[in-house]
Structure 1
């Protein structure tokens, strides 16, 4: 997949990993379209980039998604890359003190269903390009869950499965490549509550790994500690689960 001369949509591009994606691809001569719900923060992010179009957009709003797709079709018919980065996470225990069903609904809608909706609506545009890509941003927790992120992990597991099916389907008859990057804990505001500043990798590392994956057509990107957890899971699922839930006695074989 080429890394220059693209027109790239990045949802959740105003902060964290999304902003680092925008910086990395902007620096390589691409036009980046970044979206976010907060207009002020979006403009601050856009001020750090050269070739950028900021658009206020909430991925869970179905009407807003239709309006965004129409605008992209009219103003950016050359769009050829979509990076589905916007996400939501809730940190809590499944002990009855939190409304797990409500929190899960928010996460599934943001991290899974909204991505399917946007990808499907943009596929006709992507299929017109000579070279195109869809990127999903999954998580280490999509491979092996952490109990503090129970329904977030479930939403990312669903996204991981969907991404694999999408890659197989589009690989049969289209020019649209499907990438998935699975970060571990990252040092962003998004993960500050669970120790991202202390134990997380820099968001720039995630962005650099995605650019490198484009260059080599590496479709599943196990960045940072994710590769270690994945390999551990292959040899011992119980050991991988313990590693993702340290200090907890697990009732597994």
Structure 2
């Protein structure tokens, strides 16, 4: 998959991993569109990045998604890369969630999984019309071994991992390549509550993504993700303990 001369849509592109993706893709000579729910933060990101198109859009809102898709079809019919990066994570304990586990899970699954299915489905005709196209789904290390502090987030990313494999299989005879970026702990605002300052910089993760795109490495296990992945294959119980700092 080429990494320059593309038209790329990045959801959740106003901060963290998405912002770093936009920065590096712009530097490589791509046309980049970023979306986010927070209009003010999106404007600040656009000013920081310079040569991007910023569109306020909420992936969990059906009408907002419809408006985004219509705008893409009208203004960017050459779109050939979709990065499903927008995410939501809430720290909670299933043993003591104050009867909020369902509400948290519903919100996380809506943003982290169902919204990906919806946006991908709606933009697939645009992507399939291109000679060279890609979908990048950002899942997580917790798709292999859930984190106790992020139980329903982990479940939503496991669902996304499964969906991504099915999507890759379904599109195997098309020009659309399906990549899955599986970050370990990354130092972003989203991960601050779970010790994100101990994670890798977003730039390291995005560097690995760009290398994977260049080499058609479809499952991208950056850093500790590779260790947990291999351990989950050899000893799932031990992988679960390792993910949660238990012996």
TM bucket (normalised to shorter chain) is over 0.9
Secondary structure of the 1:91 match is coil
Shift of residue 220, structure 1, vs aligned partner: 0.2
Partner residue in 1 for 2:235: 236
How large is the Cα RMSD of the aligned pairs? Answer: 0.9
Equivalent residue number for residue 73 of structure 1: 73
TM-score by length of structure 1 reads: 0.95
1:19-58 mapped onto 2 (5 Å cutoff): 19-58=19-58
Whole-Å separation in 2 of the counterparts to 1:83 and 1:140: 18
1:113-128 alignment, distance < 5 Å? 113-128=114-129
Deviation, 1:95, is 1.2
Match of residue 212 from structure 2: 213
For residues 191-249 of structure 1, what are the alpha-carbon distances to aligned partners after superposition, in whole Å with 9 as ceiling and x for unaligned?
A: 0001001x21101111111111010000000001000111111111111111011147x
* Secondary structure of 1:33 counterpart: strand
Mapping for residues 78-117 of structure 1, pairs under 5 Å: 78-98=78-98, 99-117=100-118
In the TM superposition, what whole-angstrom CA distance separates every residue of 1:43-100 from its partner, at most 9, and x where no partner exists?
1111122431000000000011111100000000010000000000010100143310
Residue by residue over 1:125-163, the C-alpha shift from the partner in whole angstroms, topping out at 9 and shown as x without a partner, is: 001111000000000001110111000000000000000
SS in 2 for 1:145: coil
What's the CA shift for 1:184?
0.6
Q: TM-score, normalised by structure 2?
A: 0.98
Q: In structure 2, the residue corresponding to 1:9 is in which secondary structure?
A: strand
Deviation string for 1:99-140 (max 9, x for gaps)? 100000000000000000000000000011110000000000
Partners of 1:208 and 1:123 in 2: how far apart?
A: 26
Equivalent in the alignment of 2:221:
222
* 1: CA distance, partners of 2:170 / 2:246: 41
Q: Which runs of 5+ in 1 are unaligned?
A: 249-253
> Where does the alignment leave 5 or more consecutive residues of structure 2 unmatched?
none
- Aligned residue for 1:180? 180
Per the alignment, residue 251 of structure 1 pairs with none
How many residue pairs get matched?
Answer: 246
Question: Where does residue 157 of structure 1 map in the other structure?
Answer: 158
Secondary structure at the residue paired with 2:89?
coil
Q: Distance in 2 between matches of 1:97 and 1:151?
A: 11
